[in-house]
Structure 1
Amino acid sequence: MKLLSTYLRKLVLKLERFLPPRRLIVVKGDALPAKMPMRSIVLAQDGREDWCVGLQCPCGCGRTIELLVIEEAHPRWDYSVDAKGSPSLHPSVWLTNGCRSHFWLKNGRIHWCH
């Protein structure tokens, strides 16, 4: 079963470049939804304040990644959205435990760090 899981994760990573860019979805509140969309990036806004950005780990492990974008947070991330609605994050996302993924999100596309 583990071999099949590893194979499917590698297949998803290879197909990434053929799929449409990820999109930004805005939700109201200071928390991410319990069920995260597969390929979209979610921005939680409480009133007029951007709170956090979330996404499912692109490696396919199923982990929800939550990145704070509020000014007071350390560490914190910045996001931008291009004219086509594709989000970018800065700095890179580097998970230090679990799957240990390290990637950039640029114009809705995952760029893996090696």
Structure 2
Amino acid sequence: MKRRYFNKNQPSNPHQEFTKELQQKRQLFRIVRLDEFPAIFESYNVYLPCDNGHTWTAGLLCPCGCKQEIYLNLLPGIRPCWKIKEHLDGTATIQPSILQMKGCRSHFFIRKGNVEWVIKREKRSVH
């Protein structure tokens, strides 16, 4: 049996370095905790303002590029309501999907920081 020795400076998984580089190139939604919403939102940030230890709303910019600010209710007793999960790498998952009712009309999910677009399927007529 052949023994493998690893240099402490090298990743133990050869794909780890590639994955790290890919994440740096790709824009991922990440959680930003603060006292209040910033005056200007930055792309790919999910802002979670904390009020007396409670987070009741979230804010982000629409990922389509229209620069529309989106605010999400996090209070379970009020509808619609979203849940946000922060992963160990700081990326966000938001459930359920986000649908812009006005403006760009984007419809998407955010899962582990990635945007997954919902594409409407046209109804086919049956002959």
- For the aligned pair, the TM-score class normalised by the smaller chain equals 0.7 to 0.9
8 Å Cα contact 2:66/2:104 also seen in 1 = yes
Tell me the TM-score normalized by structure 1.
Answer: 0.77
8 Å Cα contact 2:27/2:44 also seen in 1 = no
8 Å Cα contact 1:79/1:88 also seen in 2 = yes
Match of 1:81 in 2: 86
4+ runs deviating over 6 angstroms: none
The one-character-per-residue Cα deviations of 1:33-54 (angstroms, maximum 9, x if unpaired) are 2211122111111111111111
- 1-side partners of 2:47 and 2:54: how far apart? 14
Q: How does 1:94-113 map to 2 (within 5 A)?
A: 94-113=99-118
Point out where structure 2 has 5 or more consecutive residues left out of the alignment: 1-24, 120-127
Letter of the 2:60 counterpart:
L
The one-character-per-residue Cα deviations of 1:23-80 (angstroms, maximum 9, x if unpaired) are 1001114xx2221112211111111111111110000001000001023321110000
Tell me the TM-score normalized by structure 2.
Answer: 0.70
Larger radius of gyration: 2
Q: How does 1:1-114 map to 2 (within 5 A)?
A: 18-29=25-36, 32-114=37-119
CA RMSD of aligned residues (A): 1.3
Aligned residues: 95
Point out where structure 1 has 5 or more consecutive residues left out of the alignment: 1-17
Higher helix share: 1
Higher strand share: 1
8 Å Cα contact 1:28/1:47 also seen in 2 = no
